[in-house]
Every structure is written in C-alpha cells, then in structure tokens.
Amino acid sequence: MTQEAPADIQLGELLIRGGLLGPEQFEAAYRLSFKMRLPIGRVLTMHGHVTEEQLRAALEIQARIRDGLIPFEHAITALLMVSQEGLPLETALNRSGPVAMPTQVPTHNRLGEILTSAGIASQPLVDQGMVTSAETGLPLGLVLLNRGVITRASLNSALAAQRLIREGKVEREAVLYALKLARLRSISLEQSLKETGQFANLAPKFGIGELFVMAGAVSESQLLTAHEIEATHDKELDEVFVELGYASKPCIKAAKHILKMIESGVLFEDQAAQIISKVQYASSNEELQRVLSLIDEDPGAIFEERQPIEITDILKKAGLISDKDLQIATALALANKVPLMKTLFDARLIDEQVLEHATHLKNYLDHDLLKLEQATIVMAYCLENNMTVEETLDTFGWTAPQ
C-alpha cells in the first residue's frame, strides 16, 4: 500500500522511520534543543545519534518530499539504505524507485532583484544563491549572508527597502536610488532617503521580534530569517514565528497582550522579556491564562528575584569542579587569605583557559545575555574545540555582547 506523505512531514518522523534513531532518543534531543534554542540537527549530531552525512540526507529527502519530487515510501526506503547499508543518498534514491526530478529553481526573487538593482550583489552570485536556497529551503538573504556576498547591514537595508515598497510608502525607483547612494557613501538607508527628499522612519519599533530576542527565545540570525520571509511572502511576523517553530500560537497570543501592556506603561521591556521566557513553552490557552492572570492581578508577582551567578556556579554546572572541591578550596582560601580563584588555580583544578572562559561567560550572564544552561554548553564546546567564547556564540547563533 502506498503511504501518503504528510504535508508538513517532520524531520523526527523521517529519522525514526528511516531507522536512524529511536523515538526516545529523538524526544530527549528535541526537549534539549527546544530548551537550549539549538537546532535539533545540531543536538542529534553533537550527541552522536546521527552523523552529519545522515542528517544532510534526511534534510534533503524532507525537502524533496515537501516539493513533491519523491514519493513518501521511496523516501523511507532510501533512508533505510543510507542508515543500514551506508549508501550515498543519490545511490539510495536511485535504488528505491524512479529517479527524482531535479529541484525547480525560481527564475526571479524580489529580494534578489533589489540586491542586484542596487548594486549590492551581482546577478551571477544571486543566481547561485537562489539555487542553494531552492535546494536547502533557506531564505536567499541568509544564503548570501552566510557566503559573505552581502553584509548583515546591507541585508537589513534591502529588507527595509522591500517593506517600504510593499507598503507603498516610497516609490520603487526612489528606494533603489537611495539604496545605491547608501552603499556608495557608506551611510544608512534612512539617511540616504532623507537626503534624496524621501522621509521614512526605519527605526525598528519594539515589537514581537525584539521582545523574543531580548527574552533569548530567538537569536538575531533567526529573527533575520523571519524578517526576510515576512517581507518576501507578505506575511505577518507572528505568523512566520509560528510557521518556523519559534513560538507556539498561545505564546504569540501572550506576546501581543504583553506588548500592549508595554505601550500602556504597565510593564517595562525587560520585565516583558522575563514573561515571554515563562510562557514560550505554553502549549495550551489554559496554561497561558494561568500565567497571564497572575500578570494582570499583580505584574510584579511574576518576577523572581534573580540571584547573581558566580564563576564557581559556571564551573560546577560545567562539571569542572565538584561541591567537595569547592568546599576544600574555600576553606584553604580563607585560611591563607588568598582569592578563591587563585586557590583553585594553584590546586590545578582549573587552568588559565578555563578561568578566562568562565570570566567572559559571567559577564554575559550578569547582563542577561545568556542563561546558565547556555553558558554551560558554551564552556564545554570551547574546551572541546579549542575555540573562544565569541566564536562559539557565533557558531550556535547566540548573541554576544556588543
């Protein structure tokens, strides 16, 4: 019997049915990825559940199913061959059934047209980016940004220009001219528009995107992706967030309620961010209402007194020192009247690299730019891969302090 492929076939279902991992493994990895805001694929590969090659095969097959290029039963058969026989994906696909049709690449892209018309990117590079975008499902802007073809600032300007054109605030030719001028003179698009006689306030309003970034619910890279989809497909940002899995519908509902409370002066922005972190996992309206009712009754009741996190907390959480180590070192430090960190260092419980990483991470924690669980992952990744904290934050797509 032929299996019907679900319209929204999920990666986990493919991996499980393809024999690459069990349901329990995927469930545990999914909970960790959701909690730590890491891509599920990264968690699966970091824990050794699947290899990079197997993950790429599953993602490629997922894309082909969604595009209607391969029957569902052929996809599962091919994944089984990849996992059990170690076959390359294309070989497995050829053996599983009829050869899949080639990926259909769009012949135009509105963002691509703006980038080329403004001289920000060349047509050949945009065309190459569109091929990769069609193959991977990533937005064109993110593909070009990752390849170094464009900068984050130029992508933001192009997306802002696209939004102005879509909303009819500025004529297309006027926006393109302002973009060219901004590029040539290394000034902002807003300044360029003013100099050319156009007025458009491009300063971002504190909205859902900014609220979720402040709450640590999405990274700046994820927000950039959402903004591109918003501008390119004429969708609302909250709708995009739900489609991308950045937030549940109840969470978005809460965010809109919270933004109104900010506008009315009931909440400060940092307080609102704390609330979002509490409701981002809400899976039902009932669960959401329990939290929001507390806010309406007493906005201050929802906030917990945050205890400062010490370097030793980071070291213990990362498993670099034990409670017993800390007790002995603290007693020695007091007896010898020397700093605790020096005692740990002299006892060779930590080294300079560990202390440097922990000090950096404490600074990020003190400014609410990371959570302790994230700092723990960063510390382990830094030590395992001999990377700096900043490099690791960039790898994970988390925002480093400016």
Q: What's the pLDDT tens digit per position in 251-264?
A: 888 888 888 888 88
Residue 326 CB coordination number (10 Å): 17
Q: Which of 7, 14, 4 is nearest to 82 (CA)?
A: 14
- Residue 279: exposure state from Cβ atoms within 10 A (0-12, 13-18, ≥19): buried
pLDDT at 8: 55
Structure tokens at 227: 């903004």
Q: Provide the pLDDT for residue 303.
A: 52
CA distance 169 to 165: 6
Between these two residues, 314 and 4, which has the higher pLDDT value?
Answer: 314
Mean pLDDT of 102-116: 66
Who's near 206: CB < 8 A, 6+ residues apart? 259, 262, 269
Q: In terms of C-beta distances under 8 Å and separation of at least 24 residues, what long-range contacts does 86-94 make, across chains too?
A: 89/56, 89/57, 89/60, 89/61, 92/57, 93/61
Residues 6 or more apart in contact with residue 221 via CB below 8 angstroms: 142, 397
Task: Determine the Cα–Cα distance for residues 36 and 75; give it in Å rounded to an integer.
Answer: 30
Condensed to tens digits (0 to 9), the pLDDT of residues 23-41 reads 888 877 777 766 555 667 7
pLDDT at 20: 81
Give the percent of the chain with pLDDT over 90. 0
Is 214 in contact with 269 (CB distance < 8 Å)? yes
Q: Taking the CA atoms of 289, 294, 296 and 301 in sequence, report the sign of the dihedral they define.
A: negative
As to burial, measured by CB atoms within 10 angstroms (0-12 exposed, 13-18 middle, 19+ buried), residue 242 is: middle
In this prediction, residue 384 has a pLDDT band, given cuts at 50, 70 and 90, of confident
Q: What is the mean pLDDT of residues 171-189?
A: 86
Q: Quick one: CA dihedral 200, 123, 136, 71, positive or negative? A: positive
Looking at every residue in the chain, the average pLDDT score rounds to 77
Extract the tokens encoding 159: 């997306």
Q: What confidence score (pLDDT) does residue 372 get?
A: 81
For 242-298, write each residue's pLDDT tens digit: 887 778 888 888 888 888 888 887 777 877 887 887 777 666 777 677 766 765 555
CA 272 – CA 211 distance, rounded (Å):
7
Does residue 90 have a pLDDT over 80? no
Query: Is pLDDT of 96 > 50?
Result: yes
Question: Alpha carbon of 235 to those of 230, 295, 339: distances in Å?
Answer: 5, 30, 56
Angstrom distance (rounded) from CA 201 to CA 217 = 27
Q: Which residue has the higher pLDDT, 400 or 86?
A: 86
> In this model, does residue 2 exceed pLDDT 70?
no
Nearest residue to 382 (alpha-carbon basis) of 366, 348, 349, 359 = 359
Residues above pLDDT 70, as percent of the chain: 81
The confidence score (pLDDT) of residue 380 equals 86
In angstroms, rounded to a whole number, what is the distance separating the alpha carbons of residues 146 and 369? Answer: 23
Identify the pLDDT of residue 296. 58
Give residue 3's pLDDT: 45
Secondary structure element (H or E) that encloses residue 133, with its range: helix 123-136
Q: Higher model confidence: residue 367 or residue 131?
A: 131
